[in-house]
Amino acid sequence: MAGDRRRWWILALGMAAQAASCVFLYGLPYLVPDLRHQLGLSLTGASTLATTPLIGIIVALVAWGAAADRYGERMVITAGLVIAGGCLIAAASASSPVSLGVLLGCAGAGGASVNAASGRLVLGWFGASERGLAMGARQTAQPLGTMLAAAALPPLAASAGLSAAIAACGALCLAAAAAVALFAADPPRPGRGTGTTSGTATETATAPPGNPYRAPVLWRIHAASTLLVVPQFATTGFALEYLVASRGWSAVEAGRVIAVANLAGALSRLAAGRWSDLAGSRLRPMRTLAVVVTVVVGLTALGMAGRSPLAVVALLAAVALSVSTNGLAFTAVAELAGLAWAGRALGVQNTGQNLAAAATSPVLAQVIDGIGYGGAFGLVTVFPALAVLAVPVRAEVSRDPEPPAALPRQRSSSA
């Protein structure tokens, strides 16, 4: 599909859908003060309630991926966003923390559809020479959606109330669902087995037949990606608190600087994707960036331990660079799994990452209380170092350069 101009329009729709889901999936922590005030919750209770969408993601990702493999990306993304939007609008009227948490968890389960299917959409519409950049662009939706949440949700809650802020998240999901339903299109889908469908090339042209999980390659990429989530959420989750509590910054100053670092993170995903296209490899750049993240987080730990100004510079660099590998891993997983398994494989990929994300903040908070920021971030450094060893660079030798949708059309042998 390399010559089809629709691919960029469809990528934009996928990014919009991803950003809309990320506003509530990762942006609800910005409403923690309002949750505490209006519902009378402790800090722990409010923080837990704000992360309930992650539970829904973890539960539903693989199922949505399997649905995308079978029924197509547009239907899955649309259905999931409708579920998420409806649950969020219902949550705006919830009368108790328990009912609110259940509805937010269900919204997260619906929003998981975008995570599972939008990456598969990129795989189908873009050839290898552009796919890294396209997947990097798709991955920028997460920091951009989180930035939108940080900028819009607290003022909206302050002026119109917590219910209005949650309902606005639901309306945004429904608007994105309508746009995808009306204007997106699934890529041509390959046939099963040795046949073809709709004139497209056989599925086995890009991936070995059978279950790709019988070999260790995908498992190693999943493991490396999960390890790299730890420094990502350690830096983004504790950067503001560190700057305020340990360096004496105001929350406003810290928030603005971290927002710039997040924007740099979005750009780093684009740059990494383009680098992989030019290099003809996803995993070699991923391993190199894992080394860089290890060094930067290590410098952050040393600076924190010595109360050096280096800590601030290194921490902000870690915020930007720790997210750079996500798009590379997603692209590698999709390509190595092939279209028949891409949805499920991306679901497994996202499940591992969200499990690590959900565990990092509460566990690291306890470690920081015990041994301080320097020691805690020293332990965080171990995770990207292990990821360097886990990335299976040699597995890319057999990667086909194009997806089925980009191969020359041919008639089915059974026609």
Q: What is the CATH number of domain 208-399?
A: 1.20.1250.20
So what's the pLDDT on residue 167?
96
Span(s) in the chain for CATH 1.20.1250.20: 1-187, 208-399
pLDDT in tens, the chain (415 residues): 555 678 888 888 988 999 999 999 888 877 877 887 888 887 667 777 888 898 898 888 888 888 887 888 899 999 999 999 999 999 999 989 999 999 999 999 999 999 878 777 776 788 777 878 887 888 788 878 877 887 788 888 888 999 999 999 999 999 999 999 999 888 776 544 433 333 332 333 344 557 888 888 999 999 999 999 999 988 877 787 788 778 888 766 777 787 788 888 889 988 998 898 898 899 999 999 999 999 999 999 999 998 888 999 999 999 899 989 988 898 888 888 877 787 788 778 888 888 888 788 778 888 888 899 899 999 999 999 999 999 998 877 544 444 444 433 333 333 3
What one-letter code names the amino acid at 383? F
So what's the pLDDT on residue 343?
73
CA atoms of 322 and 98, how far apart (whole Å): 34
CA atoms of 27 and 332, how far apart (whole Å): 27
CATH topology of domain 1-187: Growth Hormone; Chain: A; (1.20.1250)
Which tokens is 190 given?
């390959």
Question: What is the residue-wise DSSP string for 257-304?
Answer: HHHHHHHHHHHHHHHHHHHHHHHT-SHHHHHHHHHHHHHHHHHHHHHH
So what's the pLDDT on residue 213?
86
Do residues 274 and 133 make contact, with C-beta atoms less than 8 angstroms apart? yes
Do residues 179 and 77 make contact, with C-beta atoms less than 8 angstroms apart? no
96: CB partners within 8 A, 6+ apart: none
Query: Angle at the Cα of 64 (from 338 to 124), degrees rounded to 5?
Result: 35
CA atoms of 97 and 205, how far apart (whole Å): 51
So what's the pLDDT on residue 195?
34
Produce one character per residue of 17-53: b if its CB has 16 or more CB atoms within 10 Å, e if not.
bbbbbbbbbbbbbbbbebbbeeeebeeebbbbbbbbb
Tell me how far the alpha carbon of residue 94 is from its chain's centroid.
28
So what's the pLDDT on residue 398?
43
Q: Residue 190, SS3?
A: coil
So what's the pLDDT on residue 190?
56
Which tokens is 327 given?
């798009």
So what's the pLDDT on residue 285?
94
So what's the pLDDT on residue 189?
62
So what's the pLDDT on residue 361?
76
Q: Residue 115, SS3?
A: helix
Neighbour tally for 251: CB within 10 Å: 11
So what's the pLDDT on residue 409?
36
Do residues 376 and 367 make contact, with C-beta atoms less than 8 angstroms apart? yes
So what's the pLDDT on residue 413?
33
